[in-house]
Amino acid sequence: MAPNSSDANGVLFESDAATPDMAIPNTPVMKADNYPKKFVWRNIIAFAYLHIAAIYGGYLFLFSAKWQTDVFAYILYVMSGLGITAGAHRLWAHKSYKAKWPLRLILVIFNTLAFQDSAIDWARDHRMHHKYSETDADPHNATRGFFFSHIGWLLVRKHPELKKKGKGLDLSDLYADPILRFQKKYYMILMPIACFVLPTVIPVYGWGETWLNAYFVAAMFRYAFILNVTWLVNSAAHKWGDKPYDKSIQPSENISVAIFALGEGFHNYHHTFPWDYKTAELGNNKINFTTTFINFFARFGWAYDLKTVSDEIVQSRVKRTGDGTHPLWGWGDKDHSKEEMDAAIRINPKDE
């Protein structure tokens, strides 16, 4: 027997068997190497402190802070969330739409408030994540486990494969934007002001909140909360959910994540069509608040050149590579079979 053979499923090479649907030849091996983890203690200590502070902040949010502070923390959550979803993600990482400078300025302020590193660095990692998904060149390679893809990847040095392959990325569009260059250059001054100082000072001077409540609720709790929601897209939405668009990849449709992540979480769709500005098929705008936000600015031209996938392309992809879970949104959905429509009971029908 050849050294790599596996009698469990009759394939010759382990690499064949390690694919998620058992030997689709062009699917990358879903298995990380055992690259030793080089811990970054500064980050481990900082994230441990942040999470302990955030638990205390969550307690103060519920039992001690003024209602204005709670509302303020919620508004900051939405603003910083949009800085990631509409800014770093849909605009800068994926170029799924274009934005005039006033909107880019709003988004860069929101993005700085979110403290997930400069938009240029965020988009660089995210482009790697899509291009080399679930391989060693993916910064938060989900095949290394839930913890690694959630937060662990920020606690260790990056894999050499990522740094090697990353050299081939084209980031010229990002560096061409003076707003993004400015943010990156002055990040270590702008970020602490936006993410920690102003969120603490405003409640104290604005409505007489205590320093303690302001700092732990509006800064620590709010920041840790949004970080974890963002990370859930990398961990939970790469693990749990349906795969209506491409069953050969790990990203999944995870509505629970989408609710908190302002509409990001329809992740099987997003990895199949990463250039769609809606990051979801049906424009479920009730939970896809980011799409509503972009549509609002599109009305007066600050957001333009919005790209989205045609129904025909979605449909053919669903049929070719989906796992059969593609849902119907209701009567007349493009996947609604003619037989079922013909057989349906219709009361007082009046077709135009």
Residue 129, SS3 per DSSP? helix
232 contact choice in ligand ST9, Zn ion, none (CB below 5 to 8 Å, kind-dependent): none
Is 81 a residue that touches ligand ST9 (CB under 6 A)? yes
Find the shortest distance in angstroms from Cβ 84 to ligand ST9: 4
Find the shortest distance in angstroms from Cβ 264 to ligand ST9: 4
Name the residue among 134, 138, 133, 143 with its Cα closest to residue 166. 138
Is 169 a residue that touches ligand ST9 (CB under 6 A)? yes
User: Cα dihedral angle (142, 258, 279, 155), rounded to 10 degrees?
Assistant: -30
What are the DSSP calls for 84-125, one per residue? IIIIIIIIIIT--SEE-HHHHHHHHHHHHHHTSS-HHHHHHH
Tell me which residues in 250-269 interact with Zn ion (CB under 5 A): 251
Residue type, 241: G
Using CB under 6 A, count the residues that bind ligand ST9: 30
According to CB under 6 A, which one of 220, 262, 294, 303 is a site residue for ligand ST9?
262
Find the shortest distance in angstroms from Cβ 230 to ligand ST9: 4
Asked whether 105 and 182 are in contact (CB, 8 A), the reply is: no
Compute CA distances 316 → 134, 319, 326, 350, whole Å. 25, 5, 12, 30
Helix pair angle (198-207, 67-82), 10° resolution: 150
Site string for ligand ST9, 14-33 (x = CB under 6 A): --------------------
Which CB, 60 or 84, lies closer to ligand ST9?
Answer: 84
Q: Using CB under 6 A, list all residues that contact ligand ST9.
A: 40, 43, 81, 84-85, 89, 115-117, 124-126, 128, 139, 154, 157-158, 162-163, 166, 169, 226-227, 229-230, 233-234, 261-262, 264
